C-alpha cells in the first residue's frame, strides 16, 4: 500500500458542499499524517457532531470514534489518559471539532490543556453551525449574519486560543483552511508532545457565503480585524506532558498507607441484644471520631456495629452527631426507631436531637446522659447530668460521655479500648485515654443524677 | 466497600467529581488506584468524568465513576453513548434526597426512574442495588462482570445510608465472583465491530490503539459501524442492544429471598429499605403473621422468575422503598397481575421496621 492510501482513501468521495473548508482540512490532515508516517493503528480520529463528524468514515485504516456534541475532546482525553498507563503506549488522539462543539465542550478543551494530555484538536471554525441550518455560534464575528442573527451578530466572538493559552495549552496555532502551510502546521501539532490545538478558519458555503458578503480574502480581514494573528505557532516545550508527569509521580516514593486493622481479641463483649445509641454535640469537637473509636472497640470485642454520621452541610459548624448500633449479630436497620442511650455533650447537639425527632423517640427506659450545661428538661427517659464540658476538654467531651456510659454499663473489656487506642496516632492517644478516664471517674462519682 | 469491590473487579481507571454522598468512593479510588497500577483522576465536571471513563474503556481499561442524582443527570448523554457504542463502564450512583440539589446529606431511593429510564428508546440498563457494605463490594464485582460480558453501562444504585454508614464487614466471608473480561476480537479479516453471531449476542471488542481497527459511533449504525438511514441492518443493531440484555436477564438475577410457602402476602424491598424490611418480617413472624420476603439486588432487568416464584400463591404484595411515588413498585406492577399491590413509602428519612410492620398489619389484619 502506498503511504497515501493509508490515510484518506484516494477513492473517497468527500461528503461536503462545494467549496466547504472541511474538504481542504481533511486532505491536509491526510498529508500531515503521510508526512509524519504514523502507523494508522497508532492514531485515533475522534470526531464531533456536525458536518465535521462525517470525516471518520473517510479514513478506513485509522481507529475512529464518532462522539456526541462537544464531547469529542473529553473522550479523546480519556483514551490518552488510559494510554499513559498502558504498555506499549503511543496512541495519538486527533480531535476534529467545529466552533459550535468547541464552545459547548469548552470545559473539555480547557481541562485537556491543563492536563497536557497528548491530544491534538483541530477546531474547524466556520463561524456558525452548518449542519443544523446556519445558526450563530460563540465564535461568530461581529455583524455576522446567521439564521439566528438575521440582523448581524452583536456579541463579541470568543478568542478560543487566548482562552486556551491561559489554560496552559502548550501548542497553539491559527491557520486559514486555504493556507499552503496548513498541512505543515497540523503535522507539527500532531508531532508535538502534549496538548495542541489548531484553529482552522474556513467558510460554510451553504450558509456563511449565502448571507454574508465574504470571499477568501475578506476572511483574512475578518480575522485580522478581531486582533488575531494567522499562521503563527506558539509552543511551550518546558511543560511536562501528562504521560511524563504520571511516570514521574509513579516513580516517586509513595508513603505506604497501611490499612488500620482492628485486632479481634479473645475478650468478648458482654452484650446479649442489640443496643442503639446516639452521640450528639458540636461540629469540630470530635463527636464522630469518638463514636468511631467506640465502634472499633466494639469490633475488637467481637461485636457488629454500624455508625451513621450527620452534620450540617458546612461540615465545621453547628451540630455533629453519630447514630450507632452495637450487636452480637449482623445489624439490619441502622436507624433510631427506639434509642437505648442518648449522649449529648452540647446545646447544639441537643437542639438537633429535638429537631430531628430523636428526643421524641426516647422511652421511659432510654438513658439520657447530658452535659450539665444543657438546661433542657427531656420529656421522657432516665436522665443523668455530668459536668463533662467543665471537667474534660470540650473537644473530648463526647469520648468522656462514652467513658461515663460504659463505666455504668461495662459491656466492652478494657483490652478492647487498649487495642484501639494503640492504633490512634501517638499525639492523640494520651488525650483520648484521658478523656475516657474523666468520663469513667465522673460516672463513678455519680455526680448530679436526676 | 463499593470502591474496594471495584478494585477487586479489576477497575483500573476512575474519574470523579466531588458530590455528597459519593465523594468517599472518589477519595478511596484516588488513594488506592495507583497502588493497583491504575489511574484515578479529578475531572472538571460529571460530563467529563463519564467521558473520560468511556474513553479509557475504549482504550481497554475497566473504568468507573461515582456520583449522585445531580451528577447522574449530567451524565445521561454519555451514558447513552456508552450504551450505543457498547462500551463497558460502571457508574456508582449514590442516591440522595431530590429533586434538584435536594438534600445532600439525606438518603433517598428516588433515582430508580432517573437511572433506569434514562435512555431515548427506553433501553434496559442493568441496575444492581446493594443494601449494606458487604453487598456493595460483591455487587460492584457483579456490575463490572456484566458490563464487560454484555459490553454495556451498568449502574450500581446505592444511597447515602448504605454508602456513608460505617459497618463491620467480614472480609473472609466475602463472596467474590469469578472475574469476567470482555471478549476481544481476534480475527483481523472481515472484523465487523457491531456484528454478533446471534440476534441477542455481544460483538467482540477491538480496543482503540490495538491491531484491529476500532470503529466506534454513537450514531445509528449497521454491523460495520457505518452510519445508515433507512437500513434494516441498523434496526437489527438497535434491537440487538436490547435483546442482549433481555437474553441474560435470568442469569443476571440476584435476590435474597426469604419465602414462606403458606404466606398470603409478600414484602418486596431493595437497597437500604430491605434492611428495615427484613427486621419487620422477623417481628411480624414472631407475632404470628405468615409473610414472604424478597430482597431484589438486581433491580433491572426485573428478575421475573424470582418475582413469579415469590408471588405465587400470595394475594397481597407490599413494596417498601424510600421514595414518594413507588418508582420500583411501578416497574414491578406489570408482572404482578391479579395481586393487590400496596406501596410503603416515605421520603426524608429511612423507613423503619415498625412502620413496615404496621403497614402490613393495617392491610392484612
Judged by CB atoms closer than 8 Å, whether chains meet at A76 and B55 is answered as yes
What pLDDT is attached to residue A313? 75
Residues of A in contact with B224 (CB under 8 A): none
What one-character-per-residue DSSP string does A336-403 give?
-SS-SEEEE-SHHHHHHHHHTTHHHH--TT-EEEEETT-----SSSEEEEE-HHHHS-GGGHHHHHHH
Residue A63, pLDDT score: 97
Residue count of chain B: 365
Cβ within 8 Å of residue B269, ≥6 positions away: B276, B277, B293, B294, B295, B296, B319, B320, B321
Tens digits of residue pLDDT in A325-337: 999 999 999 999 8
The CATH number for A275-445, chosen from 3.40.50.2300, 3.40.920.10, 3.40.1160.10, 1.20.1250.20, is 3.40.920.10
The answer for B 214-273 residues in CB contact with A (under 8 A) is 214-219, 226-227, 272
With a cut of 70, list the residues of chain A below it in pLDDT: 1-4, 256-260, 315, 446-450
**Site from B167, B174, B214, B225 to mutate, A interface, most A CB atoms within 10 angstroms:** B167
Nearest CA in chain A to B76: A68
CA angle A124, B53, A248 (to 5 degrees): 90
Residue A215 confidence (pLDDT): 82
Q: What is d(CA A422, CA A401) in angstroms, rounded to the nearest whole number? A: 20
Give how far B252 is from chain A: nearest CA, Å.
25
User: Taking Cα atoms as reference points, which of B11, B345, B270 lies closest to residue B115?
Assistant: B270
The torsion region of residue A227 among left (phi > 0), alpha (psi -120 to 50) and beta comes to: left
Q: How many CA atoms lie within 13 A of A249 on its CB side?
A: 16
For residue A391, the model assigns a pLDDT of 87
Q: From the candidates B166, B207, B224, B285, which should be mutated to test the interface with A, based on the most A CB atoms within 10 A? A: B166
Interface of B with A in 25-44 (CB under 8 A): 31, 34-35, 37-39, 41, 43-44
Residue A41: closest C-alpha in chain B: B209
Q: Which residue of B has its CA nearest to A357?
A: B349
Q: Which residues of A touch B44 (CB under 8 A)?
A: 107-108, 110-111
User: What are the backbone dihedrals phi and psi of residue B299, each rounded to the nearest 5 degrees, phi first?
Assistant: -65, -40
Identify the segments of chain B with pLDDT beneath 50: none
Would an 8 Å CB–CB cutoff place B213 in contact with chain A?
yes
Residue B104, chain A, CB below 8 Å: the answer is: yes
- The SS3 of residue A178 is coil
Model confidence over A278-292: pLDDT tens digits? 999 999 999 999 999
When CB atoms are compared, the residue of B20, B34, B47 closest to A71 is B47
Query: Residues of A373-407 as b/e, b for ≥16 C-beta within 10 angstroms?
Result: ebeeebeebbbbbbbbbebbbbbbbbbbbbbbbbb
> Which run of H or of E encompasses B306?
helix B304-311
Nearest alpha carbon to residue B301 among B153, B116, B141, B149:
B116
* Contact check, Cβ <8 Å, A77/B51: yes
Put simply, whether A1 touches B (Cβ < 8 Å) is no
Residues of chain B neighbouring A331 (CB-CB closer than 8 A): 167, 275
Task: Give the containing element (helix H, strand E) for A96.
Answer: strand A92-98
**For the domain with range B2-173, which CATH number is right: 2.60.40.1260, 1.20.120.350, 1.10.620.20, 3.40.50.970?**
3.40.50.970
CB contact under 8 A, B59 and A57: no
Dist CA B32 CA B14 (whole Å): 11
Domain range summary for chain B, segments of one domain joined by +: 2-173, 255-364
Q: Which of A109, A103, A223 is nearest to A175 (CA)?
A: A223
Strand pairing report for A233-235 and A171-176: antiparallel
Interface test with A, best of B50, B168, B212 (most A CBs within 10 A): B168
d(CA A109, CA A169): 9
Q: Is A84–B39 a contact, with Cβ atoms under 8 angstroms apart?
A: yes
* CATH fold for the domain made of A4-250: Rossmann fold (3.40.50)
> Exposure of A251 by Cβ count < 10 A (0-12 exposed, 13-18 middle, 19+ buried)?
exposed
Q: Given CB atoms, is B94 within the 8 Å cutoff of chain A?
A: no
**Structural domain boundaries of chain A?**
4-250, 275-445
Answer whether B105 sits within 8 Å of A310, measured CB to CB: yes
pLDDT of residue B229: 85
- Quote the pLDDT of residue A9: 83
Contact list, B35 vs chain A (CB under 8 Å): 254
| DSSP bridge pairs for B341 | B317
Q: Report the SS3 class of residue B262.
A: coil
Q: Tell if the CB–CB gap between B275 and A108 is shorter than 8 Å.
A: no
A220, A369, A373, A384 from A377: Cα distances, Å: 81, 12, 12, 11
The set of residues, in sequence order, having a beta carbon less than 8 Å from that of B115 and lying 6+ positions away, is: B72, B93, B125, B127, B155, B157
Strand intervals (E) in chain B: 13-16, 39-42, 63-67, 89-95, 127-128, 153-159, 166-167, 215-217, 255-258, 265-269, 291-296, 298-300, 316-321, 340-345
Judging contacts by C-beta atoms under 8 Å, the chain B residues touching residue A107 are 44-45, 47-48
- Cell numbers representing residue B218 in the block: 454513537
In chain A, what residues touch B31 (CB-CB under 8 Å)?
Answer: 257
ipTM of model = 0.97
| Cβ neighbours of A327 in B, within 8 Å | none
Contact B59 A79 (CB under 8 A): yes
B48 close to A (CB below 8 A): yes
Cell 465545621 sits at which residue?
A316
Give A-chain residues touching B54 at CB under 8 angstroms.
75, 78
| Helix intervals (H) in A92-236 | 99-104, 106-115, 160-166, 182-191, 208-211, 216-225
The verdict on whether omega for the bond into residue B301 sits within 30 degrees of 0, i.e. cis, is yes
| Chain-centre distance for alpha carbon B140 | 9
Task: Decide if A250 and B213 are in contact by the 8 Å CB cutoff.
Answer: no
Q: Do domains B2-173 and B255-364 have the same CATH topology?
A: yes
Q: In a 3-state reduction of DSSP, which class is residue A335? A: coil
The CATH architecture to which B255-364 belongs is: 3-Layer(aba) Sandwich (3.40)
Q: From B216, which residue of chain A is nearest by alpha-carbon distance?
A: A65
Grid-cell match 463472596, residue found: B175
Amino acid at each position: 500500500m502506498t503511504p497515501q492510501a493509508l490515510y484518506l482513501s484516494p477513492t473517497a468521495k468527500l461528503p461536503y458542499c462545494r467549496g466547504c473548508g472541511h474538504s481542504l482540512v481533511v486532505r491536509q490532515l491526510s498529508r500531515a499524517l503521510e508526512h509524519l508516517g504514523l502507523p494508522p493503528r497508532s492514531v485515533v480520529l475522534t470526531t464531533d457532531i456536525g458536518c465535521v463528524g462525517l470525516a471518520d468514515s473517510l479514513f478506513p485504516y485509522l481507529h475512529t470514534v464518532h462522539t456526541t456534541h462537544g464531547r469529542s475532546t473529553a473522550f479523546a482525553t480519556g483514551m490518552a489518559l488510559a494510554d499513559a498507563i498502558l504498555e506499549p503506549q503511543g496512541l495519538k488522539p486527533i480531535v476534529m471539532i467545529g466552533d459550535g462543539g468547541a464552545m459547548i465542550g469548552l470545559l473539555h478543551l480547557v481541562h485537556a490543556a491543563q492536563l497536557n494530555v497528548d491530544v491534538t484538536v483541530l477546531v474547524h471554525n466556520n463561524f456558525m453551525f452548518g449542519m443544523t441550518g446556519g445558526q450563530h455560534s460563540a465564535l461568530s464575528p461581529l455583524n455576522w449574519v446567521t439564521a439566528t442573527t438575521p440582523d448581524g451578530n452583536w456579541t463579541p466572538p470568543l478568542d478560543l486560543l487566548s482562552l486556551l493559552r491561559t489554560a496552559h495549552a502548550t501548542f497553539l496555532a491559527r491557520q486559514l483552511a486555504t493556507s499552503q502551510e496548513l498541512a505543515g502546521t497540523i503535522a507539527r501539532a500532531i508531532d508535538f508532545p502534549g496538548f495542541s490545538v489548531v484553529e482552522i478558519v474556513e467558510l460554510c458555503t451553504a450558509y456563511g457565503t449565502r448571507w454574508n458578503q465574504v470571499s477568501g480574502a475578506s476572511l483574512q480581514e475578518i480575522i485580522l480585524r478581531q486582533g488575531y494573528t494567522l499562521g503563527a505557532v506558539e509552543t511551550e516545550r518546558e511543560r511536562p506532558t501528562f504521560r511524563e508527569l504520571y511516570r514521574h509521580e509513579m516513580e516517586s516514593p509513595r508513603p505506604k498507607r497501611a490499612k488500620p486493622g482492628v485486632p479481634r481479641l479473645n475478650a468478648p463483649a458482654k452484650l446479649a441484644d442489640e443496643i442503639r445509641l446516639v452521640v450528639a454535640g458540636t461540629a469540630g469537637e470530635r463527636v464522630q471520631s469518638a463514636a468511631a473509636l467506640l465502634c472499633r472497640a466494639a469490633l475488637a470485642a467481637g461485636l457488629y456495629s454500624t455508625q451513621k454520621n450527620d452534620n450540617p452541610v458546612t461540615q465545621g459548624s453547628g451540630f455533629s452527631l453519630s447514630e450507632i448500633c452495637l450487636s452480637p449479630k449482623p445489624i439490619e436497620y441502622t436507624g433510631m426507631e427506639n434509642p437505648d442511650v442518648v449522649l449529648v455533650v452540647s446545646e447544639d447537639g441537643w437542639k438537633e436531637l429535638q429537631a430531628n425527632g430523636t428526643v421524641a423517640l426516647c422511652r421511659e427506659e432510654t438513658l439520657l446522659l447530658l452535659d450539665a450545661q444543657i438546661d433542657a428538661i427531656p420529656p421522657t427517659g432516665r436522665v443523668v447530668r455530668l459536668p463533662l464540658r467543665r471537667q474534660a476538654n470540650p473537644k473530648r467531651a463526647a469520648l468522656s460521655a462514652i467513658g461515663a456510659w460504659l463505666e455504668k454499663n461495662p459491656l466492652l473489656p478494657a483490652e478492647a479500648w487498649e487495642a484501639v487506642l494503640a492504633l490512634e496516632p501517638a499525639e492523640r492517644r494520651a488525650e483520648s485515654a484521658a478523656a475516657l478516664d474523666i468520663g469513667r471517674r465522673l460516672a463513678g462519682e455519680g455526680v448530679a443524677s436526676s | 466497600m463499593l470502591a474496594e469491590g471495584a478494585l477487586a473487579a479489576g477497575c483500573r481507571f476512575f474519574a470523579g467529581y466531588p458530590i455528597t454522598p459519593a465523594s468517599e468512593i472518589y477519595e478511596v479510588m484516588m488513594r488506592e488506584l495507583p497502588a493497583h497500577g491504575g489511574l484515578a483522576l479529578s475531572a472538571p465536571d460529571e460530563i467529563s468524568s463519564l467521558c473520560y471513563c468511556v474513553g479509557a474503556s475504549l482504550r481497554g481499561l475497566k473504568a468507573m465513576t461515582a456520583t449522585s442524582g445531580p451528577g447522574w443527570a449530567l451524565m445521561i448523554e454519555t451514558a447513552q453513548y456508552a450504551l450505543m457504542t457498547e462500551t463497558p463502564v460502571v457508574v456508582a450512583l449514590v442516591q440522595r434526597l431530590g429533586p434538584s440539589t435536594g438534600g445532600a446529606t439525606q438518603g433517598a431511593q428516588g433515582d430508580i426512574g432517573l437511572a433506569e429510564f434514562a435512555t431515548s428508546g427506553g433501553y434496559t440498563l442493568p441496575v444492581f442495588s446493594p443494601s449494606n457494605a458487604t453487598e456493595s463490594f460483591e455487587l460492584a464485582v457483579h456490575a463490572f462482570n456484566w458490563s464487560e460480558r454484555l459490553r454495556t453501562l451498568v449502574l450500581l444504585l446505592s444511597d447515602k445510608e448504605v454508602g456513608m454508614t460505617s459497618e463491620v464487614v467480614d472480609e473472609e466471608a466475602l463472596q467474590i465472583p469469578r472475574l469476567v473480561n470482555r471478549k476481544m476480537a481476534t480475527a483481523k479479516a472481515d472484523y465487523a465491530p457491531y456484528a454478533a453471531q446471534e440476534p441477542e449476542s455481544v460483538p467482540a471488542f477491538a480496543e482503540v490503539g490495538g491491531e484491529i481497527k476500532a470503529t466506534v459511533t454513537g450514531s445509528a449504525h449497521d454491523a460495520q459501524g457505518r452510519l445508515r438511514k433507512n437500513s434494516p441492518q441498523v434496526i437489527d443493531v438497535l434491537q440487538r442492544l436490547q435483546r442482549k440484555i433481555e437474553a441474560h436477564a435470568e442469569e443476571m438475577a440476584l435476590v435474597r429471598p426469604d419465602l414462606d410457602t403458606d404466606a398470603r402476602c409478600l414484602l418486596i424491598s431493595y437497597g437500604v429499605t430491605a434492611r428495615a424490611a427484613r427486621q419487620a418480617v422477623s417481628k411480624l413472624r414472631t407475632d404470628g403473621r405468615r409473610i414472604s420476603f424478597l430482597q431484589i439486588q438486581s433491580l433491572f432487568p426485573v428478575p421475573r422468575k424470582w418475582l413469579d416464584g415469590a408471588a405465587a400463591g400470595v394475594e397481597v404484595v407490599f413494596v417498601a422503598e424510600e421514595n414518594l411515588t413507588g418508582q420500583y413498585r411501578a416497574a414491578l406492577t406489570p408482572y404482578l397481575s391479579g395481586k393487590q399491590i400496596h406501596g410503603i413509602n416515605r421520603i426524608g428519612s429511612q423507613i423503619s421496621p415498625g412502620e413496615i410492620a404496621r403497614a402490613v398489619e393495617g392491610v392484612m389484619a
